Amino acid sequence: MTDSPTYGFDTLQIHAGARPDPATGARQTPIYQTTAYVFRDADHAAALFNLQEVGYIYSRLTNPTVAVLQERVATLEGGVGAVCCSSGHAAQIMALFPLMQPGRNIVASTRLYGGTVTQFSQTIKRFGWSATFVDFDDLDAVKAAINDDTRAVFCESIANPGGYITDLDAISAITDAAGIPLIVDNTSATPYLCRPIEHGATLVVHSTTKYLTGNGTVTGGCIVDSGKFDWSASDKFPSLSTPEPAYHGLKFHETFGPLAFTFHSIAIGLRDLGMTMNPQAAHYTLMGIETLSLRMQRHVENAEKVAVWLENDPRVDYVTYAGLKSSPYFDRVKTICPKGAGGLFTFAVKGGYDACVKLVNALEIFSHVANLGDTRSLVIHSASTTHRQLNAEQQEAAGAGPGVVRISIGIEDPADLIADLDQALSKATA
């Protein structure tokens, strides 16, 4: 089919990027389990390696199954292109790679997945990069944190673990004024609940491991390029605006225009970093995306019911779900995530750390795993697991203090989920 903005989300999540296999007529996208592709002739091979023609060279760079997934996610997000890679963490490094140089920094939200905080506060130092963490509800602090060496601003649309909603419109106004890109992790929301590019995001990253795949089978990541940023407006992004020695002086932005970031991420990012998504993982994710809207609707419906029940339970101190009228982010949901606040949030158990551990151990339907976005309901005590590497101040800032547990609400019968939480809370607070 020809992708068109006239098609609805439910249609695009099934058809975007996919066409019947020309060789066999297979309706489902085949798994192209191959490392290399035969060139038509020597001139064809040279044109591909010179970036003068688009095609398949080697599966570290491009693969037909992965290409369908890239087109589908880009279409759903409203971007011009996308690059898939091996994990969500790989996607974050891939997103920063064309933008950064030694001595440059990013400004990041304090409300991020714990592994992301560690990656930004510790690991990227080895590249000579640094990060400044700021409360993104304090817009003046965000502005003040940006300096001449800042090359990107990073946040999550729905923050993990607390489910907080970021005011993307306000943050993008700041990044536009500063002439730097806004990178938004849309993993917890998916493009069904939030389309960050419509709110000013330059790049959108995903851990496709989570809601996009939705069944806990494969890891993967994706970077979606809005195509709207002028990489040549200043001298801040030489990788995209100045001659590239590896391609005989080609200038990516001058040559590829809105697709400059996408082509750079394939031709240099995947070529040299090698964070490749395998075709079988892409296949599983494509199948998952076909039911994305149906699943997200149920995730939201169930999360709302469970959150209301928890908020009214005397054994619970508070619930962070943004879909609750008591949440300070309730009004923001209407503009940023109009179809719902997602299925991820935390709640504080009376009794603190020890009660949280007892609760996790007592749950029966909820699976105790380091994952989210599954059809199954999941639980974890973030302070002792996903956010364990952070200090106490960082844990509190991220919404992952010792007295809270994170739950990812699945698509089971909500009455069963509430009953499971009820019995576990009884044991945890006895």
Percent of the chain exceeding pLDDT 70 equals 98
pLDDT at 383: 78
Give dist(CA 40, CA 45) in Å, integer. Answer: 7
Tokens of 209: 């491991």
Q: Where in the chain is the domain with CATH 3.40.640.10?
A: 9-99+181-288
pLDDT for 184: 98
Q: What are phi and psi of 353, to 5 degrees?
A: -55, -50
Q: Is 26 exposed, middle or buried (0-12, 13-18, 19+ CB in 10 A)?
A: exposed
The CATH topology of domain 9-99+181-288 is: Aspartate Aminotransferase; domain 2 (3.40.640)
d(CA 161, CA 219): 19
| pLDDT over 80 (residue 93) | yes
Overall average pLDDT of the 89-113 stretch: 97
Compute the distance between CA of residue 361 and CA of residue 50 in angstroms, rounded to an integer: 57
- SS3 labels along 155-176: EECECCCCCCECCHHHHHHHHH
Give the residue-averaged pLDDT of 11-22: 93
**What pLDDT does 322 receive?**
97
pLDDT at 400 over 90: no
With a cut of 80, say whether residue 396 has pLDDT above it: no
Q: How far apart are CA 418 and CA 184, in angstroms?
A: 32
pLDDT at 387: 64
- Which range, of 23-32, 75-84, 220-229, 395-404, averages the lowest pLDDT? 395-404
Tell me the per-residue pLDDT of 133-162, one tens digit each, with 9 for 90 and over: 999 999 999 999 999 999 999 999 999 989
How far apart are the C-alpha atoms of 364 and 412, rounded to whole Å?
Answer: 13
Fold of the 292-428 domain: Aspartate Aminotransferase, domain 1 (3.90.1150)
- In Å, what is the CA distance from 133 to each residue of 145, 310, 346, 387? 8, 31, 21, 15
Supply the pLDDT for residue 388.
Answer: 66
In the predicted structure, residue 392 carries a pLDDT above the cut 80? no
Is the four-CA dihedral 9, 10, 12, 14 of positive or negative sign?
A: positive
Computed over every residue of the chain, the mean pLDDT equals 95
Give the tens place of pLDDT for each residue, 185-243. 999 999 999 999 999 999 999 999 999 999 999 999 999 999 999 999 999 999 999 99
Give the pLDDT confidence of 56-79 residue by residue, as tens digits: 999 999 999 999 999 999 999 999
The DSSP bridge pattern shows strands 221-225 and 150-156 to be unpaired
Are the C-beta atoms of residues 307 and 160 closer than 8 Å to each other?
no
**Identity at 185, one-letter amino acid code:** D
To the nearest 10 degrees (0 to 180), the angle between helices 292-311 and 414-428 is 40
Question: Per residue in 161-180, pLDDT tens?
Answer: 899 999 999 999 999 999 99
Residue 390's pLDDT is 73
Neighbours of 251 (CB within 10 A): 17
Provide the terminal-to-terminal Cα distance of the chain, rounded to the nearest Å: 59
Residue 87 has pLDDT above 70, yes or no: yes
Whether the pLDDT of residue 1 is over 60: the answer is no
Using the predicted structure, report yes or no on whether residue 333 has a pLDDT greater than 90.
yes
Spatial contact of 154 and 127, defined as CB atoms under 8 Å apart:
no
- State the pLDDT at residue 123: 97
In this prediction, what percent of the chain has a pLDDT beyond 90? 91
pLDDT band at residue 298 under the 50/70/90 scheme = very high
Structural contact between residues 183 and 224, judged by C-beta atoms closer than 8 angstroms: no
List every span in the chain annotated with CATH 3.90.1150.10. 292-428
List helix spans (H) across 233-371: 238-241, 252-256, 260-264, 271-273, 279-289, 292-311, 330-336, 352-362
Residue 5 has pLDDT above 70, yes or no: no
Per-residue pLDDT for 291 more than 80? yes
Q: Residue 161: which of 407, 424, 375, 414 has the closest Cα? A: 407
